[in-house]
Structure 1
């Protein structure tokens, strides 16, 4: 099946990744659907807009269908206005470590204090080097899905 996203998620234990980051981008995103089997996300990332549809995860939680298209920021802004309550805001840092890019998200607002790193893989069993700031793996734990954080923010746990 095309359009598969294979990734693993980890909590982050220190801010050392900031010094290793090659870029930082502010992200705002909302959800038109937060059904775990089919989420529909609208995102403004820097000066670009995106519409993304994700399917439910496989048994290991590492793989799921993902389809994304770039849209204008005006359209994205209009769609965010239609989204469910709970717009997420975060800073994303990209870090190259070994042969893999890690996307480290520092959440803001009601999810402040939560920092998650994701690494995208070519297959589920792919080996990768783990930076020292990578903590507990939370792959497949639904409470860490962005769609769920928009409904049940980290600061309320």
Structure 2
């Protein structure tokens, strides 16, 4: 099991000319101490994963994560077992200065939300922020995908408050 170190940011736009993959994900379990996620990724080679994540540390930067690929058709069935609504998004990969950013454009009940994430090798790793970054939201619970499933972005009264 690996430790995931990740920072998350609200962004103002998606850089041009990026190709994305459609993602659907749902949660078989979603609590403060752990989440169990099912994800499908539609691409030339459809893929699917089951992911178990532990609680975040105090900074919100890192947590234990176990992820393994599962058969796509089984994941489609497992998504039916998840509480609605499913998280629907398009993921774009943006690489700059040998750093990979995962940019998510949310759809459905989270339409209008744009988030960029970057995985780091450690919590103290320095990064240069691209110009499309608005604000860091690392560790703010409402921006976790599992919480977006329970309290979708389109229902927020104040879209970008903490």
TM-score with structure 2 length normalisation? 0.91
2:16 aligns with 18
Give matches, 1:35-54, under 5 Å.
35-46=31-42, 47-54=46-53
Deviation string, structure 1 residues 15-71 (Cα, Å, up to 9, x no partner) = 3x233x3x4110000000111210000000121110000001001000001100100
2:74 aligns with 75
CA distance in 2, matches of 1:6, 1:31: 21
Per-residue deviation, 1:128: 1.2
1:145 aligns with 144
Per-residue deviation, 1:14: 2.2
3-state SS, counterpart of residue 125 of structure 1 = coil
Give matches, 1:2-13, under 5 Å.
2-13=1-12
Report the aligned-residue RMSD. 1.0
Give matches, 1:7-156, under 5 Å.
7-15=6-14, 17-19=15-17, 21=18, 23-46=19-42, 47-156=46-155
Alpha carbons 1:98, 1:129 under 8 Å: kept: no
Unaligned runs of 5+ in 2: 157-162
**How many residues end up aligned between the 2 structures?**
153
Deviation string, structure 1 residues 63-93 (Cα, Å, up to 9, x no partner) = 0011001001111011101111220100000
